[in-house]
A and B are shown apart, each in its own frame.
Chain A
Amino acid sequence: EVQLVQSGAEVKKPGESLKTSCKGSGYRFGSYWIGWVRQMPGKGLEWMGIIYPGDSDIRYSPSFEGRVTISVDKSINTAYLQWSRLKASDTAMYYCARSRRHSDSPDAFDIWGQGTMVTVSS
């Protein structure tokens, strides 16, 4: 079965760091883009960025560049999303998702992780 499994919910304080994970299985992990999508409570979907595990090519949304870091460890089929200094406004559900087309650019997200809820509160 093709799936993405994300790490569990996190509760952090403002200023703390965090690294969440997304592990792929059931397919050739290195050949498909993995994207990250934020959903703030009660709000819509926002694309944060994307990485191609095969060569670690990373593209960020301007809205998130400098605020988060996307990385990958292809040896363990895992992508990461990390923050160095969390803010209360980072409280949201974060999804990873696989792009269905394995080419030089992403298209539709056909496989989604279950989401990681990040709560940042003092």
Chain B
Amino acid sequence: DIQMTQSPSSLSASVGDRVTITCQASQGISNSLNWYQQKPGKAPKLLIYHTSNLETGVPSRFSGSGSGTDFTFTVSSLQPEDFATYYCQQFHNLPLTFGGGTKVEIK
């Protein structure tokens, strides 16, 4: 199985901050990487697919990059509604695997 290691596991930030989360795969996965946002009590929401493609309706302050084993998710200017937990997920091989999550909290 491909292991996905996300870091940090949590962070505190202020509105307007630039936030970066990383995801490392245990082996090369090309660009087969997605990012999700989950708010408490809600289902996850797809934000970015195939490393860098913004899902329809998702604000442009969200972005993704990377290839191979190392990937980055960035929020350029954190908004109040962005406080949530974020997960990466690879689809290069089955089983599909998720990172452990990054909880973004208000500083």
Residues in chain A within 8 A of chain B (CB atoms): 35, 37, 44-47, 50, 59, 61-63, 95, 97, 100, 105-110, 112-115
Contact = CB atoms under 8 A, between A and B. Distances in A.
19 contacts: A44-B87, A45-B36, A45-B89, A45-B101, A46-B98, A47-B97, A47-B98, A50-B96, A61-B94, A61-B95, A95-B44, A97-B44, A100-B46, A107-B49, A108-B49, A108-B91, A109-B36, A110-B55, A114-B43
Interface residues of B, number: 23
A35 B94 CA distance: 12
A60 B44 CA distance: 21
Interface of B: 1, 32, 34, 36, 38, 43-46, 49-50, 55, 87, 89, 91, 94-101
Nearest to A59: B94
Nearest to B47: A108
Contact of A108 (B89, B94, B95, B101): B89
A9 B25 CA distance: 35
Contact of B32 (A50, A97, A107): A107
B87 A108 contact: no
A108 B101 CA distance: 16
A63 B95 contact: yes
